[in-house]
Amino acid sequence: MDHAELGFKLINEESVIARQIQQRRLLQIEQNQNKQLLHMTGLGWYSFKLYKNNEVQTGRYFKKLYDLPLRLKSPSDPSKIMRQSVKIDFEVGTFNYDRNQIRSQRQHYDQILELTIRNRRQNQNPNQQLKDYHYKNGDNMLVNYDKDNLYEYPEELIPFFESNQSKINEQEFNTKNRNNGIDIYIDGMNGLPDNVTICKIEASVIDPNMNEWMDKQDILPNFNEGSNFNPILHDKIELRLRGNEQKENLEKLPCSTVLLRINKAPTTKNSGKVLSIYDDIPEDEWVKYGLWRPRPEFRPNVYNTSYCGPLTQVQNDLYIEKIKRKQISQNKALGLMMNQVNQITQEQGREWVESHLVHNKNTEYINLNYFAKYCPRLGFQVSVDSINKIQLDEQLFYVECIYLQPPDKNGYLLFLIKHADAQQINDQHQDFGFSILPIFLKGGYFNSGQFNLPIVMGKLNENIINGLQQQNPINFINMMIQEKQTYFHNVTSLLIRVRDYQREFKSIYPVSEFTSQLNSNFQMVANCLGSSEFT
């Protein structure tokens, strides 16, 4: 699709007329783009052998297209018909999933959603004040940053220092010595998501067999230090003595880390007895006897980051974006939650956190769609998994095209589905239907997730495109259905996944509110076939 650029040099007296001319020209360009979207011609085709030696050929491929007409088999001499300039960029991947896991997780999220709705009807959402605060102040930069020289910034603003050097002396941890113990220091957390205000850590120690060696212990932040994104905790767990818990397969918080130190427990010089802060030792002598090790400054080569894995370029870019965020102190964030203006003491903060941040089976997991604002420079990824329960006809070849409507704006994804007769030697195609998905949320965030979208029957004409652009697209489609201008395909649906490129591409997501607005009967399925990228 060709794009035109218009430039104007306006004089004050002619500004009104010039703006009117510019608006008319821009409207004409948009109408021309819509007409081009409606009329498609074949460009080329390519066939890919998915299996080799009974194994899926996974990976990313750049292949040159073949000239039309479409053929069911690859040509014996591709050099005679291959296009030399146009390539297709596609990716093949596999996912291992369990249908029972999908079903149980769907039920879990349905229960959470039901509980959340019930609670919201009874109580006003306490996070609304902080959300409003972020929407008003989220675009303000705390510092100017230099992408090529990250370490020149104040260290308290940098969320990550890469260091793969082990900080543990394994010889100290001799399991044959019964007098050994372990002290675990929780110093803080860095780079937390945008929608975090006040938090706490529930700490427990679990062995490789998932046996819990101690009761869960609440670790609270220091409300007079740190910020909402980089809280300082500086607390300690003593492991001296010894319930099963299933390990959950959850998505990691991107670029969010916990700062921990693990040390051998101190012992007396004479008897070798393991000491504890619960012994009869004055608190002002804890440092002297090694019962308390002060929190080190956050700087390079202090914490081992090898468990975080090697940093990708996307993670490097995301860490830089995190420096730009407007941070507020822990005390101010807590004051917003407690509706207090005065300084809050550590004891007041502890009472509020322990009574409000309670973990149980109904606790809702953090919404990772709000972990960071969408970054146009990084883009997003779309995976069209399959067209579900489509008509079985070996002669029909289905094609799905993806558009961002309106172009270059925070709009929605438009999926246009056509089919062609693979036996015919031409590029003729028929309209099967279309579907839409809003992908941007309030405040500049991206609506990552897995969706099963209903497909609207018939041809996508210019009137429908204008209606989708001028009105709320979901309301516009529902109006068309109610007025019987069109219908949904009875059982056929489009299975897709979209994600902010800053996040992992998971195969299981909670049920989408958008899907339930259009048709509550659609469910989630994971069956990856391919992906596309937008930047």
> Is 50 in the same domain as 28?
no
Average pLDDT for residues 128-142, to the nearest whole number? 37
Tokens 């705390």 -> residue: 142
Beta bridge mates, 454: 493
> Is 357 in the same domain as 218?
yes
Q: Is pLDDT above 70 for 479?
A: yes
Average pLDDT for residues 206-223, to the nearest whole number? 73
Look at residue 113 and tell me if it is in a domain.
yes
> pLDDT tens digit string along 290-305?
888 888 888 888 888 8
Q: Is pLDDT above 50 for 172?
A: yes
**CA max distance for the chain:** 94
Percent helix, percent strand, percent coil in the chain, to nearest 5? 25, 25, 50
Look at residue 144 and tell me if it is in a domain.
no
What is the 8-class DSSP label of residue 510? P
Q: Who wins on pLDDT, 386 or 410?
A: 386
The residue from 353, 370, 387 where one domain ends is 370
Look at residue 530 and tell me if it is in a domain.
yes
> Is 382 in the same domain as 360?
no
Lowest mean pLDDT among 39-48, 60-69, 507-516: 507-516
> Is 312 in the same domain as 388?
no
Q: Who wins on pLDDT, 514 or 196?
A: 196
Rounded to whole angstroms, the Cα distance separating 508 from 495 reads: 12
Rounded to whole angstroms, the Cα distance separating 187 from 209 reads: 27
Nearest in space to 184 (alpha carbons), one of 199, 201, 164, 209: 201
Question: Domain containing 409: what range?
Answer: 95-124+373-535
> Is 160 in the same domain as 260?
yes
Residue 3 confidence (pLDDT): 33
Nearest in space to 67 (alpha carbons), one of 91, 93, 89, 41: 41
Tokens at 228, concatenated = 């909402």
What is the number of other CB atoms lying within 10 angstroms of the CB of residue 269? 7
> Is 355 in the same domain as 428?
no
What is the number of other CB atoms lying within 10 angstroms of the CB of residue 40? 13
Look at residue 306 and tell me if it is in a domain.
yes
Sheet of 182-190, strand order:
232-239, 182-190, 257-264
Look at residue 51 and tell me if it is in a domain.
yes
> Is 273 in the same domain as 343?
yes
Residues 6+ apart with CB under 8 A from 389: 491, 492, 493
pTM: 0.53
Residue 455 belongs to what H/E stretch? strand 449-457
Look at residue 278 and tell me if it is in a domain.
yes
Residue 30 confidence (pLDDT): 58
Rounded to whole angstroms, the Cα distance separating 355 from 222 reads: 17
Tokens 């780079």 -> residue: 191
> Is 120 in the same domain as 216?
no
Beta bridge mates, 433: 417, 457
pLDDT band at 179 (very low <50, low <70, confident <90, very high): low
Angle, CA of 76, 399 and 522, to the nearest 5°: 140
Residue 452 confidence (pLDDT): 83
Tokens at 393, concatenated = 């006809």
C-beta contacts of 102-107 below 8 A and 24+ residues apart: 102/508, 102/524, 102/525, 102/526, 105/508, 105/510, 106/510, 106/511, 106/523, 106/524
Look at residue 130 and tell me if it is in a domain.
no
What is the 8-class DSSP label of residue 502? T
Look at residue 145 and tell me if it is in a domain.
no
> Is 476 in the same domain as 413?
yes
Number of domains within the chain:
4
Q: Who wins on pLDDT, 246 or 171?
A: 171
> Is 18 in the same domain as 154?
no
pLDDT band at 163 (very low <50, low <70, confident <90, very high): low
> Is 155 in the same domain as 297?
yes
Q: Who wins on pLDDT, 34 or 257?
A: 257
The residue from 314, 338, 370 where one domain ends is 370
pLDDT band at 530 (very low <50, low <70, confident <90, very high): very low
Tokens at 508, concatenated = 């299981």
Rounded to whole angstroms, the Cα distance separating 44 from 65 reads: 5
> pLDDT tens digit string along 336-383?
888 887 888 888 888 888 888 887 777 777 788 888 888 887 788 888
> Is 77 in the same domain as 62?
yes
